[in-house]
Structure 1
Amino acid sequence: MKERKAVVPAGMEAVYERIRYAPAVKVGNTIYVSGQVGRDEKMQLVEGREAQTVQAFENLKKVLEAAGASLSDVVDLTTFHTDMRDLPLFLEIRDRYLTTHPMPAWTAIGAHMLGGTAGYIVEIKAVAVLPD
């Protein structure tokens, strides 16, 4: 197996140090991004459905950039939703961030609770592949 490298962007050190997981792991040209939720750099939940979803995408973007990638490198997206009725809003926001064609593969999963704390409505997990 190729060398694995933890990707920990500035402002996400607490995730790695306190919760003990890497925001992403890079193996060769592939980046496996852990589920990103709508919390800010102080690890506080962002209020409001749209604002929280935007923050989750901003966190995804930040992790990818720290790994030397961008949203256009995403090939697989898995999202978890506490209320599947939020999908129209999610899709609207997703289309602001993911504009490269072909679009990545996508799986949406309904979940009772996210992030171990009440209030989180969406979590975004991704796999990105850098060009050779």
Structure 2
Amino acid sequence: MKKLVTTVVVLMLAGVVYAQSGQSTIEKQKFNLSKEGEDNAGYAQAVKAGNTIYISGTVAGGDMATALTKVYDRLQQTLAAYGATFQNVVKENLYTTDIDEVKKHTDVRKKYYKGDWPAATWVQIQRLYSPNASLEIELVAVLPDK
């Protein structure tokens, strides 16, 4: 009996080592808006894994209404690369250096979602990675099963 238990434990550990060896990886489909800039910083604009699209923070600066429009237009472009729209978005994280300005221009955001709101988090921060940016938005979108 002891030999059987030892054999089972060894087989279980072998399975764990195989799973951790990188042999079972997920397929990722990447999208870049600016491959050179993204490679320099070490990220992809978006990564699709399974039916889920993870879109990196997209930034803009200047007056907030213009910044919001620029960011949502770029996000729309990224979603379209996967055949998705804002109606596929399930989560939005918005970071800004001026939350009061964002709140004044929610009408800009609303036209993209068309009443189909995602879960959302809006946070005011001191600064963003890009020194001239005042706004950064990241999204998670889900495509329907095929």
TM-score, scaled relative to structure 2: 0.75
- Stretches of structure 2 that go unaligned for 5 or more consecutive residues are 1-24
* TM-fit CA distance, 1:7: 1.4
* TM-fit CA distance, 1:86: 1.3
Contact 2:62 2:133 (C-alpha < 8 Å) held by counterparts: no
When Rg is computed on C-alpha atoms for both structures, the one with the higher figure is: 2
Q: AA paired with 2:67? A: Q
The structure with more helix, counted as a fraction of residues? 2
Contact 2:71 2:136 (C-alpha < 8 Å) held by counterparts: yes
User: Percent of aligned positions with the same letter in both sequences?
Assistant: 31
Q: AA paired with 2:129? A: G
Match of 1:71 among 86, 94, 103: 86
Contact 1:80 1:123 (C-alpha < 8 Å) held by counterparts: yes
Q: AA paired with 2:125? A: A
**Counterparts in 2 of 1:1-132, with a 5 A limit?**
2-9=26-33, 12-38=34-60, 47-101=62-116, 103-117=117-131, 119-132=132-145
Contact 2:96 2:134 (C-alpha < 8 Å) held by counterparts: yes
Q: Tell me the alpha carbon deviations over residues 7-65 of structure 1, each in whole angstroms, 9 at most, x when there is no partner.
A: 124xx223333322100010011000000112xxxxxxx53321111101111111111
Q: AA paired with 1:83? A: D
* TM-fit CA distance, 1:88: 2.2
TM-score, scaled relative to structure 1: 0.82
Distance in 1 of aligned mates of 2:104 and 2:36: 29
Contact 1:82 1:111 (C-alpha < 8 Å) held by counterparts: yes
* TM-fit CA distance, 1:100: 4.5
- Stretches of structure 1 that go unaligned for 5 or more consecutive residues are 39-45
> Counterpart of 1:41?
none
* TM-fit CA distance, 1:112: 0.7
Q: AA paired with 1:106? A: A
Distance in 2 of aligned mates of 1:84 and 1:35: 16
